[in-house]
Amino acid sequence: MLLKTTLTAATALSLLAVGGAAAETLTIATVNNGDMIRMQGYTDDFTAKTGHTVEWVTLEENVLRQRVTTDISTKGGAFDIMTIGMYETPIWGANGWLVPLNDLSAEYDVDDILPAMRSGLSHDGTLFAAPFYGESSMVMYRTDLMANAGLEMPEAPTWEFIREAAKAMTDRDNDINGICLRGKAGWGEGGAFITVTGNSFGARWFDENWNAQFDQPEWANALNFFVGMMKESGPPGYATNGFNENLSLFQQGKCGMWIDATVAASFVTNPKDSTVADSVGFALAPDTGLGKRSNWLWAWALAVPAGTQKEAAAKQFIEWATSKDYIELVAAEEGWANVPPGARTSLYETPEYQAVPFAKMTLDSINAADPANPTVKPVPYVGIQFVAIPEFAGIATEVSQEFSAVYAGQQSVEDALAKAQALTNDAMEAAGYR
């Protein structure tokens, strides 16, 4: 504990030294997931070290994206710190909308950030957001239900295995769904999931000339497979389920499998919250044998909007919240399994964390993601569950709404793909890509 006390004291001194300004009140927009809510519970530590106080605006994922995008593009100035991700950061950094994080302290150790995270949160080599946590996606499954079905989960399963296992584990009489997946509209919710699923089936958003590809058989194959599997083995109303809804279902013991963000592993294995904490296994996201798995790459990160009057204090908060010392603070209070994952190399070199059952699978999933080569066929874009162009968020939100209408039984797969094809090409033509 002497080492930890010394480190904490050193961090406090370095934080107080930065900016040397009077105490500020920072307004922070963030997402309503478990790790961010946990961070809010520790902000008294930040206030004690710096004198700055924090006001939180905590929002559902789709609402957060809408609010921060509107605020920063209109220079509204509502927030001193925004929680954003790998899609927004390089685009907003290139627009001059974010404060560069190129002067963080030596103690912070920027070089310790995992290369995949640092690259995805930079523009032209300049870091514009610091990762609170990083993630890919993977299979989380009930080991007891898998064993009862007489099956064994491969470390690297195929989609066909996942579908058959889901059918075998489904028990409608006991309210157990073989699989729980995102269907909720939103480019970063159900849109993200069906995009990576499409990648594994050989689909892509655009060909090399920016022509939409929803009229190609790979998209029909992916969407028909997804809808068929969810009809067989998914929960009712899955068209409105996103990350938080499926997390709740899994923790209640109502899902045989859940394929989603690796960051969820600490919540499904926490006996305080999960009724199935002692019977959860992990595997890589599935594929179809074409060389691409259905896993993404993402970081929820903290950024400072340009024009804030509280830049120095905002940077102090970012240093505190994304530091090695914050990880140690959470580990000391709640155990290593509950620290924010996927952001720092040193975490995966820590023996205590190496013993966490999902640590290696998380890192393997992150390392398996390749944003520069996301699809089977060549594409003109970077990004796995998103296309890194400014127009994508609007287009993909509309496409995801069409797909969610399929999941809700309101239209056919064929109709949804035809609408997606038309609206995407129209938008890209208007934007000058075609």
CA distance linking residue 422 with residue 260, whole number of Å: 29
- Tokens matching residue 358: 């999902």
pTM of the model: 0.91
pLDDT digits (tens, 9 = 90+) for 247-284: 999 999 999 999 999 999 999 999 999 999 999 999 99
Quick one: which H or E segment has residue 138? strand 137-142
Measured from the Cβ of residue 149, the count of other Cβ atoms closer than 10 Å reads 18
Question: 206, 379 in Cβ contact below 8 A?
Answer: yes
Q: Side-chain half-sphere of 351: how many Cα atoms within 13 Å?
A: 0
Q: State the average pLDDT for the chain.
A: 94
Q: Cα 102 to chain center, whole Å?
A: 24
When pLDDT is averaged across residues 123-141 and rounded to a whole number, the result is: 97
CA distance linking residue 402 with residue 23, whole number of Å: 48
pLDDT digits (tens, 9 = 90+) for 59-89: 999 999 999 999 999 999 999 999 999 999 9
pLDDT digits (tens, 9 = 90+) for 372-386: 999 999 999 999 999
- Tokens matching residue 215: 């009229």
